[in-house]
């Protein structure tokens, strides 16, 4: 896959806010979802976590090249910038693909030939979780997502009686609100992730989806916050989503891209 075909995949694939081909012209539908995996681990006591993480990413990249795996994949380490401490993971790895065919092939290769990767990881990581998510775009980003950038996470839960159809309508209207304020994929990208496997156990603890917003720089994050607070975007969001979902406070990460096509 060439780099340009992954630009949209970087927040991810095509927009879900499309018109159905075989329905009334005003009926929206979701597009195809794309796969995302997230590792969350703690560092073992006494290790230089950042140094070991960078070294480990290089090891994974060398293994991937040797086995012709993860070549259509973007992987990034994520370091906390703003957090309330409720998400204490020290090592966070997020990887994604444009389609499930590439994802499945890479998973098979890692399962068959990747034992050494787990041995190396276990030298400095412990208490690891590994979750899988399905991603749909809300506001596609430009290709800055293929380099280091800033990522904000928020967990959202549907309110009683609300679901995907309500969210889709709100998503479409909110994307238009951002465009009306002059925001484009050069400024930010937004994607929503739905849990497939490895999310928190139990229905009572399960979230409906993760809302992720990415920015090319902290300055872009600050500019969006100005528009959010001071130019009416937050009231617009509340009007569209307030009866549909409840979302917690964001966690902001420095995303360090370690592998890309």
Contact 234, 228 (CB under 8 A): yes
Of 8-12, 70-74, 143-147, the one with minimum mean pLDDT is: 8-12
230, 167 contact by CB (below 8 A): no
Q: Evaluate if residue 168 carries a pLDDT over 90.
A: yes
**Contact at 8 Å (CB) between 145 and 10?**
yes
Distance set, CA 114 to CA 50, 67, 110, 121, 207 (Å)? 22, 9, 4, 11, 31
Find tokens 């917003």 and name the residue: 213
Q: Which is nearest to 100 in space by CA: 37, 16, 39, 33?
A: 33
Q: How confident is the model at residue 83 (pLDDT cuts 50, 70, 90)?
A: confident
Q: Which among 146, 256, 140 has a CA at the least distance from the CA of 188?
A: 140
**Quick one: average pLDDT of 242-253?**
95
pLDDT band per the 50, 70, 90 thresholds, residue 84: confident
Banded pLDDT at 29 (limits 50, 70, 90): confident
pLDDT in tens, 218-240: 999 999 999 999 999 999 999 99
The residue segments making up the domain with residue 194 are 3-259
Q: Is the pLDDT of residue 178 over 80?
A: yes
Percent of all residues in the chain with a pLDDT value above 70, rounded to a whole number: 86
Handedness of CA 44, 48, 53, 56 (dihedral sign): negative
* 86 or 46, greater pLDDT: 46
CATH value at residue 158:
3.30.70.100
Q: How confident is the model at residue 14 (pLDDT cuts 50, 70, 90)?
A: very low
Strands 34-43 and 245-247: unpaired
End-to-end alpha carbon distance in the chain: 7
Mean pLDDT over the full length of the chain = 88
Please tell me the total count of domains within the chain. 1
Q: Map 206-261 to HEC letters.
A: CCCEEEEEEECCHHHHHHHHHHHHHCCHHHHHHHHHCCCEEECCCEEEEEEEEECC
Average pLDDT of span 6-32:
45
Q: How far is CA 245 from CA 31, 54, 79, in A?
A: 21, 37, 27
pLDDT at residue 173 in the model: 96
How far apart CA 208 and CA 53 sit, in angstroms, is 30
Mean pLDDT of 80-90: 78
* 100-159 tens-digit pLDDT: 999 999 999 999 999 999 999 999 999 999 999 999 999 999 999 999 999 999 999 999
pLDDT score recorded for residue 202: 53
Give the pLDDT confidence of 39-62 residue by residue, as tens digits. 999 999 999 999 999 999 999 999
Q: What confidence score (pLDDT) does residue 87 get?
A: 61
pLDDT of residue 19: 30
The CA angle 138-139-142, to the nearest 5 degrees, is 140
- In the predicted structure, residue 1 carries a pLDDT above the cut 90: no
Task: Lowest mean pLDDT of 12-16, 28-32, 69-73, 213-217, name the range.
Answer: 12-16
Q: Is the pTM of this model over 0.85?
A: yes
């Amino acid at each position: 896959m060439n780099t340009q075909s992954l630009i949209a995949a970087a927040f991810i694939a095509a927009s879900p806010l499309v018109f159905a081909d075989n329905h009334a012209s005003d009926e929206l539908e979701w597009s195809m979802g794309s796969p995302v995996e997230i590792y969350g681990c703690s560092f073992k006591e006494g290790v230089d976590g950042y140094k070991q993480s960078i070294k480990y990413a290089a090891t994974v990249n060398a293994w991937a090249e040797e086995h012709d795996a993860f070549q259509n994949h973007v992987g990034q380490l994520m370091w906390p910038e703003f957090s309330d401490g409720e998400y204490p993971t020290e090592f966070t790895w997020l990887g994604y693909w444009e389609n499930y065919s590439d994802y499945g092939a890479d998973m098979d290769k890692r399962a068959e030939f990747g034992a050494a990767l787990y041995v190396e990881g276990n030298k400095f990581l412990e208490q690891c979780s590994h979750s899988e998510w399905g991603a749909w775009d809300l506001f596609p980003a430009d290709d800055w997502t293929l380099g280091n950038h800033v990522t904000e996470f928020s967990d959202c839960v549907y309110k009683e009686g609300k679901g995907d159809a309500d969210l889709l309508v709100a998503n479409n209207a909110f994307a238009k609100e951002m465009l009306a304020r002059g925001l484009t994929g050069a400024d930010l990208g937004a994607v929503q992730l739905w849990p497939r496997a490895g999310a928190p156990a139990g229905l009572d603890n399960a979230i409906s989806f993760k809302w992720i917003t990415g920015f090319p720089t902290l300055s872009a994050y600050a500019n969006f916050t100005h528009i959010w607070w001071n130019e009416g975007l937050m009231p617009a969001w509340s009007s569209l989503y307030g009866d549909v979902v409840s979302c917690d406070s964001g966690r902001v990460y420095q995303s360090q891209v370690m592998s890309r096509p």
